Chain A
Amino acid sequence: MTRSDDESRSASALARSYRGERVLTSVIGLVALLVGVAALVVGAGWLGTYRAARPVLDPMAVDWLVRQALTARIAAILLGLAMLVLGLMWFFRSLRPEARPDLALDSTIGKGLTVTAGAISAAIAADAEQVDGVSRARVRAVGDREHPALRLSLWLRDGSDVKTIWREIDSTVLRRARESLGVEHLPTAVRLELGAAERQRVR
């Protein structure tokens, strides 16, 4: 495992990636924009005043389609099937919750050792809450089985020294986690939240 691999994994563990969703929304937005603008251009008569006065579903085009009915039908059905499959894939991909992979520490046959995502979370969170200035900690495993990573969310008390905690996380909590799991590398993303856990009411 190389250094840059570790770093990119810890960076991508910071938050769930929305790249797919953003790309799909952009592509559909772009298609809608281009089709709308093209229809406006035709309607404004920039492609010929005669063209602008023709019906949207031009009888000439319909005639042409009717002449190649078999090809047109097969092409349309294939396009429809592709839309159906792609649409359903997108739908379930967006609905799927973020994975919580278990850590496979030893995959040797006969002495395999797996730590479940829940066990890691509870143990490391309890440890992180012991750090001075941390009021609440939440830990979860992210990524996939081959490339697991940890995401640590820490809520700090108002006025606590962020720099000290920032320095201490790796040397205390994460070092202990690595030692107890017996791994050398454990890509980790840490999210610090300040003063959001406890609110003081006005008395």
Chain B
Amino acid sequence: MRVVVRILSCLLGLALAVAGGLAVLEIAWAWARPGDPALLIDWPRWRDELGSLPWNSTAMRVTAGVLAGVGLLLLLMAATARRKEVRLNDPAEGVSVTTSPRSLARIVGFQVRSADNVRAASVTASARKIRVRATTRLETEAQLQPRLMELVQETVDALPLVRRPKISVVVDSPRDRR
């Protein structure tokens, strides 16, 4: 989302500049040569159309709704363009360390996959939460889940994370279905 917001902001700036430039040109042109046709955009036609379009017409309502929707979308995009890195403690004065959520997931995934009886595992991580889904064929969920929970907790505790993420471990085992 960060890249999208950067490109969007670039385009919005350009749109603002173009709109301002066109307005200045048209107003100056109409001021200097009254009676002449408009320079670049046919604004007298827009003026006439808007002059006969009431506020409660469908066209106006749809336009207003779309505008409000686009505004809401822009706000949401700007709000979600946060940094998602995971902060580690500073090892020394003036040194800041982060790692990516993906790396945190890899560290945990590496440990979980090397645990006994784990057939496959998927891990998603953020600074706040780590979710582990593991599959096994040899143990039930009740047997494996506490062990994995402890393992993940140990792995996370060994990292110098600023914020302890919550951990959730789900085990999927065919033995539970019998």
Whether B15 sits at the interface, judged by CB under 8 Å, is yes
One of B8, B55, B72 near A56 (C-beta < 8 A): B55
The answer to whether A56 and B15 have CB atoms under 8 Å apart is no
Whether B39 sits at the interface, judged by CB under 8 Å, is no
The answer to whether A94 and B10 have CB atoms under 8 Å apart is yes
Complex Cα distance, B98 from A104, in Å, reads 27
Complex Cα distance, B117 from A148, in Å, reads 50
Residues 72-101 (chain A) with a chain B CB within 8 angstroms: 73, 76-77, 79-91, 93-95
Given the interface contacts A21-B6, A43-B55, A163-B160, does A36 sit within 8 Å of B16 by beta carbon? no
Complex Cα distance, B19 from A14, in Å, reads 36
A-B Cβ contacts below 8 A, count: 266
Whether A34 sits at the interface, judged by CB under 8 Å, is yes
Contacts of A171 in B (CB 8 A): 92
Q: Which stretch from A106-114, A130-138, A193-201 is at the chain B interface?
A: A193-201
B contact residues, range: 35 or more
Contacts of A76 in B (CB 8 A): 23, 27
A contact residues, range: 35 or more
- What are the 5 closest A-B residue pairs judged by CB atoms, nearest first? A83-B20, A87-B17, A36-B68, A29-B74, A90-B13
Identify the B interface with A (CB < 8 A).
Answer: 2, 5-6, 8-10, 12-24, 27-28, 31, 47, 50-57, 60-61, 63-75, 77-79, 81, 83, 85, 88, 90-100, 102-103, 106-107, 110, 158-160
